[in-house]
Amino acid sequence: MTSPPIALTIAASDPSGGAGIQADLKAFSANGAYGTAVLTALTAQNTLGVTGIHAIPPAFVTEQLDTLFADVPVDAVKIGMLADAAIADAVAGALERHRPRYVVLDPVMVSTSGHRLLEADAVAVLRERLLPLADLITPNLPEAGDLLGTAAAKNRAEAVEQAQELLETGARRVLLKGGHHTHDARSVDILVDATHPTGAGAADITELSAPRVDTRNTHGTGCTLSAAIAALRPQHEDWPTAVRAAKAYLTGALRAADTLHIGSGHGPVHHFHQYWS
């Protein structure tokens, strides 16, 4: 590992700065990693919603990745919005060629405002090519259901079952985010690991619980959490430790989100809450 670790985000741009590569680069920096970025799409959006998406040509996504990997020793990769099947395929090809040590895949499908961010035909490519290349995938409840072609889990038992079904698609670990269970007083994520410490037996299941933060400023929470995990994994001995640290960071960013006053819709979390007074 380099010092500091080098993290790469492969995702779209968010002009409002709350999600996408802007959020990822902030989360990398806040968690002690040097950030690099490869763009998959440009978006026109603000805190109220997304009005347009302009996908980057897949060949140029490939050129960005190959050029970066030819020179920069990337320690960890976070994958976010991929827009369409051709881009998802191009990213999968680059990962197969360059084999970075840690890969965190956040299957971004729908924005906070409800705008579809991943074309329907790209879901199959995501499931069949990228999930097996990921060390950790971080879907929320609706995204997990979408990947499996079923309804979102309604309780813990269903969430654990769906996480284990996702492992069967080839992913090594699944962090199923429980933030959509808004009636609960606590936000409980479930980390399911197919890599048992003894090399045998059922997958490990770890629950990560934090108090639910009462704020409407949740734009970019998924991007921020997955980016923080990617930044922290090279700095920690195992995945559960890195995920716990990233969840604690996100909880702090949510608690401080109301102090930013960015836009009139769903504002961003406070990526630098530890450093700004």
Q: What positions carry a catalytic annotation?
A: 177, 218, 220-223
Within 8 A by CB and 6+ apart from 195, the residues are 172, 173, 204
Q: Please choose, from the candidates 222, 79, 204, the residue with its C-alpha nearest in 3D space to the C-alpha of residue 142.
A: 222
104, 134 Cβ separation under 8 angstroms? yes
Token duo for residue 98: 């360059």
* C-alpha separations of 242 from 52, 77, 198 in Å: 34, 14, 20
Task: Determine if the peptide bond prior to 4 is cis (ω within 30°).
Answer: yes
Within 8 A by CB and 6+ apart from 66, the residues are 94, 97, 98
Task: Specify the amino acid at residue 231.
Answer: A
Rounded to 5 degrees, φ, ψ at 117 are -110, -5
The rounded distance, in Å, linking the Cα atoms of 251 and 254 is: 5
Q: Residue 128: count other Cβ atoms within 10 Å of its Cβ.
A: 14
* C-alpha separations of 56 from 11, 112, 117, 181 in Å: 11, 22, 14, 34
Strand, coil or helix: what is 139?
coil
Residue with tokens 């998959």: 40
The rounded distance, in Å, linking the Cα atoms of 27 and 217 is: 16
